[in-house]
Structures are given as C-alpha cells and as structure tokens.
Amino acid sequence: MRLSVISAAAVAALVGYAASVAIVLAAATALGATPAQTASWLLAVSIGKAAGSAFLSWQSHVPMVLAWSTPGAALIAATSGISLAEGVGAFVVAALLIAATGLIRPLGALVARIPDGIAAGMLAGVLLPFCLKGAVAVEALPVVVLPMVAVFLAVRLANPAMAVLAAFAAGMVPSLLTGTDLGALSPASPMLEPVLPEFRLPVILGLGLPLYLVTMASQNLPGFATLRAAGYEPPVGPALTVTGLISALTAPFGAHTVSMAAITAAICLGPDVHPDPGRRWIVGLAYAAAWVILGLLSPTVLQLLALLPGPMVLALVALALLGPLAGALAGAFARPEQRFAATTTLAVTASGVAALGIGAAFWGLAAGIAVLLLDRLRR
C-alpha cells in the first residue's frame, strides 16, 4: 500500500460523494424518507460500495471501484406519489435484474437490443428538469450561486472531476457570510433503519425497470469501458452479479443501486496511482475504507446540507448533472435514424407525466420505441 494509492482512493471517494450526495438527498426527499431513513440510505449504499469494491478488486486483481447510480438517484428524485417502502420494492427488483443480467446471457442480449438513442433519450429526459433548475437558483440567490458557477466553469477546464467539489467550496463562503450557521452541526451516530419493501406493478414498471436500464446504460457499461481503456479486462458477468446482489441486500435499508464507477474510476487507474498495473488493484481496498468513513459521517453531512440555502443545493445538483446530461444528449442524437424517436422519449420523460400511476420514464421509453418501430415500418 503506497501513499499514492491512498490519496487517489480518497480523492475518488470524496469527489464521488460531494458531487452527487445532494442528488441522493433529493431522491430520499421525493420518497418521503425521514432524516434517519436518509442517513440509513447513505450509510447502506456506502457500505455496499465499499464491500463490492474490496471484494471485486481482491478477487479479480483488477482495480474495480463502485459508485452509486447518480442518474438513478435523479430518476428517483423525479418521481412523485411513491412511498419509501414502494421505492425500496423497486430498488430490489432493479438490483435482482442487474444480478440476473450477469448470470443469464439472453437477458443481457435483450437489454442490448434497446436502441442506444432511446435509452439515452430517457436518461436525458430524467436529467434535464434538474439542470434547468440551475438557472432558477441563480435568479433566487445570485450572490451564492454565481460564484459557484464561475468556479465550476474555471476548474472544469483543468480538472472536470474536481469541478463540482470546487463549486461547493465556492458556495460555502458566501453562504457563511449570508447567515449559514455551522455551529448548529452536532455529531450523530448513523444507524441502519430497515424498511419493509412493498411491490406494486405500476411502481416496478415506472421506477424499478427504468432504474435498472439507467444504471446499466449510464453507469455499468461506461464503467467497463473505462477499465478496458486503461488496459484491463473486467469480469463483466461476475461484476454485474455481485453489484446486483449487494444492491438487493442494501435496498431494505433504503439504498438504491450500486454500479461500476466511470469518472471516479479513472482517478484510480493511472500509473501515478501505482507503477505496477498488476498491483494497482489494491486501490480498491483503500477506496473501500474511504467509503466506510464517508458512510459513518452521513448524519453530519445531511445536517450540513439542511443548513445550506435551498438555491445553493439546487445549483449543486444542476452543476453535477450537466456532464451526464451532455453525454446523454450526445448519445440520443448520435444516429440520424433514431433522432426523432429519441426526441419523443426525451420530451415524454421530461414532462413528468405519470399515467395509470406509472412514472414518466417508462412512458418515455414506450413512446420512443413505438415511434422508432413506426419509422422502421415506413422505411
């Protein structure tokens, strides 16, 4: 274990946490979770990421680090009228589908047949409303949000992975000057709060199935691609099985799915982490330790976010999702023959319509596939 390994793991974990913890908080709020249940959510998903990263890295001798599904959290945050118990039921179904994809090849082949443009359009429709709220946040509290945006844009030019963390730090200074009192923070011990899952078909179709597809398309596949680009051959089947089973075990404590990391994984894969590629897998152990610590700090982090001005948190979420939105839009419109169907998917998903109690992501996916089939029939 080298100092460079520990520092890379700590930076990767901190960037992943700070860049999207506000999105996870929004997801928990959308499901009506109490502060204790939200802290349990963060603790459980952090432990899940730690266990999966350590186990997969040790077993495969490949530096495999996990993340929570940030687009998945945005999808959850965009839902309404769903209880936490129903959400947990959807989490369990999505997790089991991920595990089954690793075990059953035909299921993976079926998912691969969903057109890339349609899947990307669904993801873009989920992310777009959150990014639009960034402009509203600037109007509501310019003295705090404008410095955040300026720092984000400047740091992004040199180090995109650190841009959201830098924006958060930039927003803290004017927030403290305008009345945020950090003296109200009090240390608290995190506790796992069990939630009995409820399984309802509309929720499974409207949240569970889209959560599975979003996690696969926007997290797992790019994560495997990142490892291959660094010269490693990841064990795809076992990795999907392990992350799916871990997600199923942590879901009853409120946690949504864990998945392969992509952006934060890149921080852990370079020669500056360890000169020997065959020994670089130990970064997964240090990364696991960092996430255990972050999970234990979850109650304090939630107290801090509760003290911050609402527009600052909205801006933080918007800035964190700009990168994923850009990638989703690029994927949605990459193929000319899929553009109109992808646009339909984006529009229906972003509308937030919830017909028959089923969420907009499902209807966006269904509408896009229907339009694409009609286009192909016409051709």
Average pLDDT over residues 1-28: 79
Can you give the pLDDT at residue 138?
A: 85
* More confident of the two residues 24 and 321: 24
Can you give the pLDDT at residue 53?
A: 92
Round the average pLDDT of the chain to a whole number and report it: 83
Can you give the pLDDT at residue 241?
A: 92
Quote the distance between the C-alpha of residue 347 and its chain's center: 21
- Calpha distance 32→82 (Å, rounded): 8
* More confident of the two residues 325 and 161: 325
Residue-wise pLDDT tens digits, 297-319: 888 877 777 777 778 878 877 88
Concatenating the DSSP letter of every residue in 301-353 gives HHHHHHHS-HHHHHHHHHHHHHHHHHHHHHHHTSSGGGHHHHHHHHHHHHHT-
Partners of 68 in beta bridges = 258
CB contact set of 90 (below 8 Å; sequence gap of 6+): 82, 203, 204, 207, 208, 211
Residue-wise pLDDT tens digits, 24-68: 888 998 899 888 898 899 999 999 999 999 999 999 888 888 988
Task: Tally Cβ neighbours within 10 Å of residue 129.
Answer: 18
Q: The tokens 């004017």 sit on which residue? A: 174
Q: What is the pTM of this model?
A: 0.78
Q: Is the pLDDT of residue 359 over 70?
A: no
Contact 331, 125 (CB under 8 A): no
Can you give the pLDDT at residue 182?
A: 63
**Percentage of the chain surpassing pLDDT 90?**
17
Task: Tally Cβ neighbours within 10 Å of residue 376.
Answer: 10
- Calpha distance 225→239 (Å, rounded): 13
- Calpha distance 378→146 (Å, rounded): 49
- Calpha distance 47→1 (Å, rounded): 21
Can you give the pLDDT at residue 46?
A: 92
CA dihedral of 209, 212, 216, 219, whole degrees rounded to 10: 130
Average pLDDT over residues 141-147: 85
Q: Is 277 left (phi over 0), alpha (psi -120 to 50) or beta?
A: alpha
What's the number of domains the chain is made of? 1
Can you give the pLDDT at residue 322?
A: 81
Residue-wise pLDDT tens digits, 327-347: 778 888 888 888 898 899 889
| Among the listed residues 121, 137, 301, the one whose alpha carbon sits nearest the alpha carbon of residue 218 | 121
Contact 269, 48 (CB under 8 A): no
Which residues form the domain of 152?
A: 3-378
